[in-house]
Structure formats: structure tokens, C-alpha cells
């Protein structure tokens, strides 16, 4: 339990950045109709379920070229 309190100051910024990226990804998915691969539903599931890596996967592989 002490280890958790020791690394908590490092985890809080990572979690805040991750939540911000997820919110940006969901916002982008809901606004734009075109994706490189897949559809809107698939990307929403990926971003929400894989919270830590989902937004990064979306911005690298799913976001369309011409926006």
C-alpha cells in the first residue's frame, strides 16, 4: 500500500493526460464521418474500452487524412 502512495504523484498526471486524450478522441469520432479503417461504432468501443491505449490507436490508425 505504501508503494501506491509513493507512485501516486506520477500516476495522476498520466491519468489526466489519458482522460483528456480519450475525451478528444471521442469528440473527434462523433464529429467526423470518415476514418481510415473501420466505422464510428468500432472506434468508440476501442477508445472507451482500451482507455490507456485506445485514443493513441485511434489518432495513429483511425483518424482520416482529409479533415
- The per-residue pLDDT string of the chain (67 residues; one tens digit each, 9 = 90 and over) reads 788 888 888 889 999 999 999 999 999 999 988 888 888 899 999 999 998 889 888 888 887 765 4
pLDDT value of residue 21: 92
- Helix pair 2-31, 40-49: axis angle to 10 deg: 170
pLDDT value of residue 62: 82
Indicate the domain borders of the chain. 34-67
- All three cell numbers of 1, joined, read 500500500
CB atoms under 10 Å from CB of 26, counted, come to 17
Closest by Cα among 7, 52, 44 to 25: 44
pLDDT value of residue 35: 82
Dihedral angle at the C-alpha atoms of 27, 30, 36, 38, nearest 10 degrees? 120
Amino acid at each position: 500500500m505504501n508503494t501506491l502512495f509513493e507512485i501516486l504523484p506520477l500516476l495522476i498526471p498520466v491519468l489526466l493526460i489519458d482522460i483528456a486524450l480519450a475525451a478528444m478522441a471521442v469528440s473527434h469520432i462523433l464529429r467526423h464521418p470518415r476514418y481510415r479503417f473501420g466505422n464510428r461504432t468500432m472506434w468508440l468501443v476501442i477508445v472507451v474500452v482500451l482507455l490507456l491505449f485506445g485514443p493513441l490507436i485511434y489518432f495513429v490508425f483511425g483518424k482520416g487524412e482529409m479533415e
